[in-house]
Structure 1
Amino acid sequence: MDIVIAGGGKIGETLCQELSKEDINIVLLEKNQNRLEQIINKTDITGLTGDATDYDSLVEAGIQNCDLFIAVTPEDETNIISSVIAKKLGAAHTIARVRNPKYANRTEFIRDSLEISMVINPELEAAKLMARLLEFPESLSTETFEKGRVNIVEVRIQANSLLAGISLTQFGQRYSELLICAVTHRHETFIPSGDTVLHEGDHLYVTGEKEELNHFYREVGYKNKEIHSSLIIGGGRVTYYLLQRLSKLDMDIKVIEMDYDTAVDLSHQFPDMMIIRGDGTDQEFLNEERIEQFDAVLSLTGIDEENIINSLYAISLDVNKVITKVSRTGLLKILEDTDLQSIVTPKILITSKILKFVRSLRGAKASNVEALYRIADNKVEALQFLVKKGSQVIGKTFNELNIKENVLVAYIIRGKELIFPSGEDRIYAGDHVIVVTTYKRFDDIDDILK
């Protein structure tokens, strides 16, 4: 498979790193020679210096023969124009990053009228995830399948929890409608077996329906306190998209933004919300704004270090839910041992979305990849497949299937029915199957077989 990527910024570099692991030929087109060389030295790709909208540069990059063109330069207009040119020159599929809110409600028009295969917006995806985290306040992260019917949430076993010391088999007996699909214990992440024993401090990735998860929270002693008020520090694009979602809820919201013009613009866009101009990194100012009285604090400034410090301060005040935007993936490893709750990294969300699209293009005959999420600090993938006729998994019981180790079939979705598969269950054509695995290159349901 051949992919051309235009733009070597944060997302461009992350895409080069991840897609190069997928046995894909990648050419990076980047204006800045030094930046291009930095990425080439770090990753297994080729590249050339050039403009994404320049005909000759695109032809030299091999756009006329590529399977996919991805435009992630800093300018939306450049990404749109270069995607249109790439399609005209012969690129089979195109993806354009479009971040400006003025285009947010026009993505269908951009996609359909300009023949762009996918329009991606990192800040919008981050806002969607944050809204879900406010819906599941006790989860550290959350992913949804089948339009919210199935969820995978991350929870941490607290001190004196009923979960500490029990086996997975015992967990299944207590919570028959839930399934633990992955466990992180002392920085090691694995797919558990029935004999796995849970310990204080472990991070569990639990799948189930919303009502069952809420019952689980209450049962094991989590606060399960609904979010009625939120303080948002930073008024950038993520905040704009998040306010659009939160404005539909019965929630008291206050936004603190330093820049005068941004604060005024938000106040005009969202007249029913309280927009305060001030320094969100000043703890005295936060105290004046009664930070400790909010159910949730979201630190969404453009500076990672400020977000981390603000969040740690909110946690020290025992705020129920704290969400932190972190853009630099290099910081995530360092933050593992901190008390930070939910960390959202926009470029990781977008990378997962593009990976799903790439996997679906790779000629899978037995299934389509309908969803793909990276969980447990990117160590585990959760995928949803639509099973087609001709798949090797159809018709056999799970006892008869020779499934690889470190693979868990978490759910079979058959019409309105949600099935936790047992040894005697079978998969049929038309089923939607959710698979959780430590493998990183599944693009077909048959990949679960040895």
Structure 2
Amino acid sequence: MRSSKKTQKKERGLNIIIVGCGKVGSTLVEKLSKESHDITVIDQKNEVIQRITEDYDVMGFTGNGASYSIQIEAGIQDADVLIAVTESDELNLLSCTIAKKVGDCATIARVRNPDYSMELSYLRNQLGLSLIINPELETAREIARLLRLPSALEINSFARGHAELVKFKIPKGNLLHDKPISAMHELNCDMLVCGVERDGNLIIPDGSFIMRGGDAVTFLATPTNSMDFFKKIGVDTHKVKNCMIIGGGKTSYYLGKQLISSGVEVKILELDEKRCEELSVLLPKALILHGDGSDEDLLREEGIESTESFVPLTGLDEENILLTLFARKCSDTKVITKINRSTFSDVLDSLDIGSIVYPRYITAEKILAYIRAMQNSVGSNIETLYHIFDNRAEALEFKVEKDSPVIGKPIMELKLKDNLLLACLNRNGKVIIPRGQDVICEGDYVVVVTTHTGFTDVSDILKWQ
């Protein structure tokens, strides 16, 4: 069955087929439809296709995305890329394999099963896939990064880990309260403040902006300078020594594995006895407990009041939120809340639930970065892409290619677009917080923070007369 809401051919962009319209697929449609791509969606549920085509300007087909006839009908022979993000790893891989045989397009597959996690490079090479993305593994990596610096609400990594965009909340009574942004630089920490969130508003501050306790400040610095800054303002910087995880799903397995390898003691509470047995084999150094992680008495008995970090990873957003609120009430533990849905963000912001991770956005951002790199006719130079400030801005990392118009002039002479901040340069592994006299060179990696969307090349930062 076919549904359509297309009105006219897009002026630019790629011809994209998305197989699977669940959480990730819907998020991709939402993001990509804003960037003038020609999008076709395939899903086995007709009601899902009807909803997507009513909400967005896309073509829809009801059927099996791995079906040759369905792919032909959806236009695979003219597609630039097929993205398979159904709930089935095998269906995703088969959809991509058929697309490579029938069409001449890039293919992206979501693969979640830990059984495949050690074989991703083999699968990618043998099947000719452009990208394999594992949402649970990427989510676990983000959580592990946050547990390394518990005072941070968000940490986004750039320059192959040499630079970080860190968000933290100024504690009440902190020495930064009632001080201007320029006071941060007086601490002799090489960093750049990129934004301040206050009362739901986003502010791109100058040096005279007065900070207050409760402000959420986002800055860019090297990991070493981030630690140094937090120490100087009296904020805890030590990596957690132990972690209590609720739920024994795929994300819990990946997170437990990463934490154990970095020397963190891991305790996992899981209700399903069979899954407990599986985890005991997969994670022999973790303490796996069979029990209801939402049981208050059990949580107290297992030491929720003394644990240094608490991460509920159940399949229910509501349960994760309630568990986080309970943990905050019991102790000052570092809490991280996994949210699958993106609704009620204003309500979540008003709750004291620590760091929040959205697996659907983590997955979508990896795919969006690849799609934008494909659009760049000069060559793939988008390295990293994050949506920040509750999706009100983007942070992008570009590689500067030969003959780029940004090369060779002092930054102060470049005609940069409004609502854009050139946050850092990475030159041969050395991170530079740029000043007006600095010059961008070929081979540099440039991090940009902007409220604009759709940048595909570093030259997009310039005003064109």
Which TM class, normalised by the smaller chain length? over 0.9
1:45 aligned residue (48, 53, 58): 58
- The structure 2 residue matched to 1:388, chosen from 401, 415, 432, is 401
Per the TM alignment, residue 378 of structure 1 is displaced from its structure 2 partner at its CA by 1.5
CA shift digits 1:235-280 (9 cap, x unpaired): 0000011112112122221100001111110011112211001111
- Count of residue pairs the alignment pairs up: 450
Letter in 1 for 2:205: P
Gaps of 5+ in 2: 1-13
Identity among equivalent pairs (%):
39
CA contact (8 A) 1:364 1:444 kept: no
The Cα offsets for residues 17-57 of structure 1, whole Å up to 9 and x where unpaired, read as 11101111100011111111112222221211111111110
Preserved CA contact (<8 Å) 2:196 2:202: yes
Whether the aligned pair in 2 keeps the contact of 1:366 and 1:446 (CA below 8 Å) is no
Q: Deviations over 1:424-446 (max 9, x none)?
A: 11111111111111112111111
- CA deviations on 1:264-323 (whole Å, 9 max, x unpaired) are 100111122110011111111111111111000001011111100000111112233101
Question: Counterparts in 2 of 1:291-306, with a 5 A limit?
Answer: 291-306=304-319
1:66 paired with 2:75, answer no
SS in structure 2 at match of 1:27? strand
Matched, 1:369 2:373: no
Q: Does 1:151 align with 2:164?
A: yes
Is the 1:307–1:324 Cα contact (8 Å) retained in structure 2? yes
Q: Is the partner of 2:421 in helix, strand or coil?
A: strand
Q: Is the 8 Å Cα contact of residues 382 and 399 (structure 2) preserved in structure 1? A: yes
Which residue of structure 1 lines up, in the alignment, with residue 416 of structure 2?
403
Supply the RMSD in Å over aligned alpha carbons.
1.3
SS of the residue 2:167 aligns to: strand
| Unmatched tracts of structure 1, length 5 or more | none
What is the distance in 2 between the residues matched to 1:428 and 1:268?
51
**C-alpha displacement of 1:375:** 1.6
Equivalent residue number for residue 148 of structure 2: 135
Report the alpha carbon displacement of residue 366 of structure 1 after superposing the two structures with TM.
7.8
Q: Which residue of 2 aligns with 1:428?
A: 441
Residue pair 1:364, 1:443 contacting (<8 A) in 2 also: no
Shift of 1:228: 0.6
Pairing of 1:320-339 with structure 2 (within 5 A): 320-339=333-352
TM-superposition CA deviations, 1:121-168 (whole Å, max 9, x none): 110100000110111111011111122111111100111112222222
Cα separation, 2, equivalents of 1:396 and 1:189: 31
**Alignment correspondent of 2:9:** none
TM-score (norm 1): 0.97
User: 1:194 aligns to what?
Assistant: 207
Per the TM alignment, residue 364 of structure 1 is displaced from its structure 2 partner at its CA by 4.5
Equivalent position to 2:277, from 252, 264, 270: 264
Secondary structure at 1:167's aligned position in 2? coil
Runs of 4+ in 1 over 4 A off after TM superposition: none
Counterpart secondary structure, 1:84 = helix
Q: CA deviation at 1:218?
A: 1.7
- SS of equivalent to 1:196: coil
Q: Could you say what secondary structure the match of 2:213 adopts? A: coil
Query: Secondary structure, in 3 states, of the residue corresponding to 2:160?
Result: coil
Larger deviation, residues 172-181 vs 421-430: 172-181
SS of corresponding position for 2:82: strand
Corresponding letter in the other structure for 1:132: R
Q: Indicate the SS of the match to 1:197.
A: coil
Output the CA distance in 2 between the equivalents of 1:416 and 1:352: 24
Q: Which amino acid aligns with 1:344?
A: V
So what's the TM-score if we normalise by structure 2?
Answer: 0.94
- Distance (Å, rounded) in 2 between the aligned partners of 1:366 and 1:117: 15
1:399, CA displacement in angstroms?
A: 1.5
CA distance in 2 between partners of 1:33 and 1:219 (Å): 57
State how far apart, in whole Å, the 2-side matches of 1:331 and 1:368 are: 35
